[in-house]
Chain A
Amino acid sequence: MDHFPTNWGRPRNDAFDAYGTYPIHQRPQNTPKDKFSDGVQRTQQPIVTGTSVLAIKYKDGIMMSADNLASYGSLARFKDIQRLHPVGNNTVIGASGDMSDFQYIQTLLNEIIIDEFTSQDGHSLGPAEIHEYLSQVLYARRSNMNPLWNSLLVGGVRDGKSFLAYVDLLGTTYSASTIATGYGAYIAQPLLRDAVEGREDTLTEEQAADILENCMRVLYYRDARSLDKYQIAKVTEAGVIISESKHLKSSWSFAEGIRGYGAQIQ
């Protein structure tokens, strides 16, 4: 119940002030306010960022990949960052966007996993629950105009069903058999759809890994914020395995032959 009559709207009869709204009282300030509240900055833009994350469904579950780079603008600042993160026993999340926000999300997830574990009630959180939780957190933060600046992929296998879904800083969610964030949505997603759609139940682990490797290579050639060092996570009924960092083979010798722009003379 709101006990402040001025918050109730105008009385029906302007001549008779039934609710005693005059003189107007000072409205209470219930939100925390201190000397520093004007100086608090909310995330207006991402600072240290990760680029695309790719994920597909295949025969045994889902496979996800991301490179090891965290950029500071156009500077390749941190070149050994892990952007794939296991959550519980059946789930992996991949993050693009602001890396400090991602680390905060990791602590949140760690907390709920521990809470769930400590209750020892035979339940645990699967990929669908993790995704629902993240979507509620990210939607609530955008609604407070204080977003967590990420695009996240959540993948996993639970009770024989594979799960792959997306959530971003606006709280937008969707699921599909292939998903790519960032630049990957433009460059890798068409390749992934071509290779995966309709073959989700037949693709083998090797085929899935090849598809992702190929897309990571195309991204490395075209995305200036990417790196040739990446990891692949696979989630199957057996659990989560995140690979060691792999090196992408690429060849730039063709660049010597390019004529028509740049500094070289014909």
Chain B
Amino acid sequence: MPAMVSSMSQQPTQQAFNPYTENGGTILAIAGADFSVIAGDTRQSEGYSIQTRYAPKVFKLTDKAVLAVNGFAADGNMFVKKVRQRLEWYRHAHAKDMPIRAIARLIQTMLYARRFFPYYVYNILGGIEEDGTGAVYSFDPVGSYEREACRAAGAAQALVQPFLDNQIYFKNQTPAPGSSFPKHLPLTSVLPLVIDSFTSATERHIEVGDGLEIYVVLAKNSTALQSLQSLRGAQEVTTTADGERVFVIRRDLKKD
């Protein structure tokens, strides 16, 4: 009998509404000495279903900053929308584009503002710093961030990041006697690394594939310009009066 009394006073248990989901995909960014590469695949999925083969995850924010978002797609799109709105307000107030280190701090504040109902999104921001160097900033969903030379995030982070550590940071490699590893790689070596990262991730991860979108941001007088102009399918997005240029390269990935 006591069991019955206690069960009557209990509230019925309900399955609470889950406001989040995961939409797969992977993003990565690599900083060079005077350029930055930001890339993402274009598949959007939920569970085992492919929702669409083309949903961009990489967005140009200013003429020298590009943001890649990965995680819960609805949060990602809303977050990009809000960041762009803040950048527009900045432009109206100061008659210039916000510098990338300031965008990075802005993103931290905006993410942390939602600390207790987070945007379920991993952000990677790439572009050109005010001093003309290539920059990559990576964030966690609640705003912790740091500037790095390279970062992968998303479904295939565990596949891509170790590869990048080895090929960009030369981890677990020893230089030939009397020589040392370069601090930054040229664009001609970075682009094949990016493409190979995504073809490999597509082979081994079911949530990665369909299409690849690579943004390349060049600092003014960047030496990487020549190699880009001879590249198949490289398409210029914007040029600033200062000389920064943004290109986009689209490639197919396997669709299975």
Binding site for B on A (CB under 8 A): 42-45, 135, 139, 142-143, 145, 147, 166, 170-176, 185-186, 189
- Given known contacts A173-B73, A174-B52, A185-B49, A44 and B15 CB-to-CB distance under 8 angstroms: yes
Closest chain-B Cβ to A256's Cβ sits at a distance in Å of 34
Q: How far is the CA of A175 from the CA of B55 in the complex (A)?
A: 8
Assess whether B173 is interfacial by the CB under 8 Å rule.
Answer: no
Q: What are 28 pairs between A and B in contact, CB < 8 Å?
A: A44-B15, A44-B16, A44-B17, A139-B74, A139-B78, A142-B19, A142-B74, A143-B117, A145-B19, A147-B17, A170-B19, A170-B72, A170-B74, A171-B74, A171-B78, A172-B46, A172-B73, A173-B73, A173-B74, A174-B44, A174-B55, A174-B73, A175-B52, A176-B51, A176-B52, A176-B53, A185-B49, A189-B49
Q: How far is the CB of B161 from chain A (nearest CB, A)?
A: 26
How far, in Å, is B47 (CB) from chain A's closest CB? 9
**Beta-carbon contact of A172 and B19 below 8 Å:** no
Sample of 16 further A-B pairs with CB below 8 A, known A173-B73, A176-B53: A42-B17, A44-B14, A44-B16, A135-B74, A142-B74, A143-B19, A143-B117, A166-B51, A172-B21, A172-B23, A172-B72, A174-B55, A175-B52, A176-B51, A176-B54, A185-B49
Q: How far is the CA of A139 from the CA of B81 in the complex (A)?
A: 13
- How far does the alpha carbon of A142 sit from the alpha carbon of B19 in the complex, in Å? 6
Q: Which residues from A are CB-within-8-Å of B55?
A: 174
- CB under 8 Å from chain A, chain B span 221-238: none
Residues of A within 8 A of B53 (CB): 176
Contacts of A139 in B (CB 8 A): 74, 78
Question: How far is A173 from B21 in the complex, measured between Cα atoms in Å?
Answer: 12
Inter-chain contacts of B19 with A (CB < 8 A): 142-143, 145, 147, 170
The B163-221 residues at the A interface (CB cut-off 8 A) are none
Chain B positions within 8 Å of A, measured between CB atoms, are 14-17, 19-21, 23, 44, 46, 49, 51-55, 72-74, 77-78, 117
Top 4 A-B pairs ranked by shortest CB distance? A171-B74, A174-B52, A176-B52, A172-B74
Count chain B CB atoms within 10 A of each CB in A145, A172, A173, A175 and give the residue with the most: A172
Whole-angstrom distance between the Cβ of A183 and the nearest chain B Cβ: 11
The CA of A170 and the CA of B22, in the complex, are separated in Å by: 11
A189 to chain B, nearest CB (A): 7
Across the interface, which residues of B come within 8 angstroms of A143, CB to CB? Answer: 19, 117
| A45: nearest chain-B partner, CB-CB | B15
Cα distance, A175 to B44, chains bound together (Å): 10
A57 to B66, CA, bound (A): 32
Collect the chain B residues with CB atoms within 8 Å of residue A173's CB: 73-74, 77
Closest residue on chain B to residue A136 by CB atoms: B78
Q: Which residues of A contact B16 (CB under 8 A)?
A: 44
Question: How distant is the Cα of A175 from the Cα of B56 in the complex, in angstroms?
Answer: 11
- Cβ distance B220 to chain A, nearest Cβ, rounded Å: 37
| Chain B residues, CB < 8 A from A135 | 74
Q: Whole-angstrom distance from the CB of B27 to the nearest CB of chain A?
A: 17
**A225–B51 Cα gap in the complex (Å)?**
22
